[in-house]
Chains A and B, each alone.
Chain A
Amino acid sequence: GNSVTQMEGPVTLSEEAFLTINCTYTATGYPSLFWYVQYPGEGLQLLLKATKADDKGSNKGFEATYRKETTSFHLEKGSVQVSDSAVYFCALTMDSNYQLIWGAGTKLIIKP
């Protein structure tokens, strides 16, 4: 079946460090891929998405490229801030009903 695997957290970095959170997927067909972010005490919100191979999603300094050959959608940011501390979820959808298949989430902690 379809699934999403994320690197386990927490990931702890210093401010201005480079961030990578790994996400790989298993899917029969061509999914759309997403990163959602959950700040403390809030619901999830869409951070970025990519709907076909080689697409790059970007938002708020974050980027992720849809890599079909490696079935990956790794999240990157060049210089993180304390305000980026949150839980990040990778997800995919396969069909028009867009039920999302979620990764387990990766907690990111940025220290000043």
Chain B
Amino acid sequence: DARVTQTPRHKVTEMGQEVTMRCQPILGHNTVFWYRQTMMQGLELLAYFRNRAPLDDSGMPKDRFSAEMPDATLATLKIQPSEPRDSAVYFCASGPGRLNTGELFFGEGSRLTVL
């Protein structure tokens, strides 16, 4: 059963620490998205890759966030230094890239708490 895998599922850290979240997209999917979900802001797009190339990271605070795809089986989202306002659930999603299907497959999320 193909699925998007995210690690860690839960992370508690202190302000100022580096946080790295990882995502394994579904094999064969060529688009990967990082989203952040909070009660106040809802679902926010942070970054978007197609064929491992970043296409849109305008939603990401550039001073502290970075997103990469070192290979087709791994996407990473890094926060350095972390701040309490970064506390949220971070979702990775992948898609097969077919025109206008719009179907994304989401991981279960990484719940980050920054104290």
Query: Could you say which of B12-20, B63-71, B74-82, B100-108 contacts chain A?
Result: B100-108
Say which residue of B42, B50, B93 sits within 8 Å of A43 (CB atoms): B93
- Chain A residues with Cβ below 8 Å from B102 are 32, 34, 46, 49, 91-93, 98, 100
Say which residue of B48, B50, B99, B106 sits within 8 Å of A44 (CB atoms): B106
User: Which of B45, B104, B106 has the largest count of A CB atoms less than 10 A from its CB?
Assistant: B104
Are A102 and B42 CB-contacts (below 8 A) given A43-B93, A43-B108?
yes
> Contact at B100–A51, with CB atoms within 8 Å?
yes
- Chain B residues with Cβ below 8 Å from A51 are 100
Binary interface encoding of chain A residues 41-65 relative to chain B, with 1 for a CB under 8 A from any of its CBs, else 0:
1111110010100000000000000
> Contact at B91–A99, with CB atoms within 8 Å?
no
Q: Please report the total number of A residues contacting B with Cβ < 8 Å.
A: 23
**Chain B residue with Cβ nearest A98:** B102
Query: Taking the nearest CB of chain B, how far is it from the CB of A74, in angstroms?
Result: 18
Say which residue of B99, B106, B109 sits within 8 Å of A45 (CB atoms): B106
Binary interface encoding of chain A residues 2-19 relative to chain B, with 1 for a CB under 8 A from any of its CBs, else 0:
000000000000000000
Complex Cα distance, B104 from A49, in Å, reads 12
**Chain B residue with Cβ nearest A95:** B100
Given A93-B100, A99-B45, list of 4 further CB < 8 A pairs? A32-B100, A34-B103, A42-B109, A44-B91
| Partner-B contacts on A (CB < 8 A) | 32, 34, 41-46, 49, 51, 89, 91-93, 95-100, 102, 104-105
Q: What are 11 of the A-B contact pairs (CB < 8 Å)? A: A42-B108, A43-B108, A43-B109, A45-B105, A46-B104, A49-B103, A89-B43, A97-B55, A99-B45, A99-B56, A102-B43
